[in-house]
């Protein structure tokens, strides 16, 4: 079944339409429609993300999720614009990516760009951050609502992982998050950051 039929079937059943782009073999979001360029067990629609999004009607998706996918995209601006087109007003785009302080980020030759607290502020219409950043093109159609750092170490480094959990204090407020990237980021590197973007309501014509 193609993506448009899958979405139509969920809408007829009254179920929310949730996409997970770049889902790999294990989806992070239960009951989502998994999209990946590879034909793996957790994938419902096999295809390039841009091609699949291009087949989806406007404003027909409630949420789009991705985990460790955006860092592999050459054209992030285009991906977010396509996602905003298919997301209903008030819907969500939630993405987890490696933080720029994650040392593993730079080891992967398929990674195209680092991400930090302010990355989405350059692309979205409004941002929860207090620091003002320039925008070099028209906003992509989302408001940047929040970000959350994740601090962890991989097995078998359990003790180091436990110590890093103290970094969660930096998620207590925007002030703490901005202070973290200004003063603490290289002392306590973050493993990941999760962005929450909300689709803007349509403006009256």
Q: What is the mean pLDDT of each run of 10 residues along the chain (205 residues)?
A: 90 95 93 95 94 96 97 96 97 98 92 96 96 92 97 69 81 96 94 97 57
Pairing status of strand 87-98 against strand 61-67: parallel
Residue 156 maps to a domain: no
- pTM across the whole model: 0.92
Q: 106 lies in which domain range?
A: 3-151+192-199
> Is 11 part of a structural domain of the chain?
yes
Give the CATH number for residue 142. Answer: 3.40.50.150
Please check whether residue 93 lies inside any domain of the structure.
Answer: yes
Is 180 part of any domain? no
Extract the tokens encoding 138.
Answer: 């028209």
In a domain, residue 158? The reply is no
pLDDT at residue 165, rounded to an integer: 79
The CB density around residue 64, as the number of other CB atoms within 10 Å, is 30
Residue 160: its pLDDT value, please?
66
Q: Taking a C-beta distance cutoff of 8 angstroms, is the pair 99, 191 a contact? A: yes
Q: Are 113 and 95 in contact (CB under 8 A)?
A: no
15 is a domain residue: yes
108 within domain boundaries: yes
**Domain total in the chain:** 1
């Amino acid at each position: 079944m193609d993506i448009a039929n899958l979405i139509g079937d969920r809408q007829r059943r009254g179920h929310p339409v949730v996409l997970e782009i770049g889902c790999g073999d294990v989806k992070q979001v239960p009951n989502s429609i998994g999209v990946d360029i590879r034909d793996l067990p957790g994938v419902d629609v096999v295809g390039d993300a841009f091609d699949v999004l291009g087949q989806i009607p406007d404003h027909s998706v409630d949420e789009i999720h991705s985990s460790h996918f955006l860092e592999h995209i050459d054209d992030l601006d285009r991906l977010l614009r396509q996602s905003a087109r298919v997301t209903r007003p008030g819907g969500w785009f939630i993405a987890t990516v490696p933080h720029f302080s994650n040392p593993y980020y730079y080891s992967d030759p398929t990674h195209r760009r680092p991400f930090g607290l302010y990355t989405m502020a350059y692309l979205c219409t409004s941002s929860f951050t207090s620091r003002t950043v320039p925008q070099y093109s028209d906003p992509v159609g989302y408001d940047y609502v929040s970000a959350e750092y994740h601090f962890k170490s991989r097995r078998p480094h359990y003790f180091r992982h436990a110590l890093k959990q103290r970094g969660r204090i930096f998620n207590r407020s925007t002030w703490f998050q901005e202070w973290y990237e200004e003063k603490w980021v290289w002392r306590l590197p973050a493993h990941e950051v999760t962005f929450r973007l909300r689709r803007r309501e349509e403006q009256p014509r």
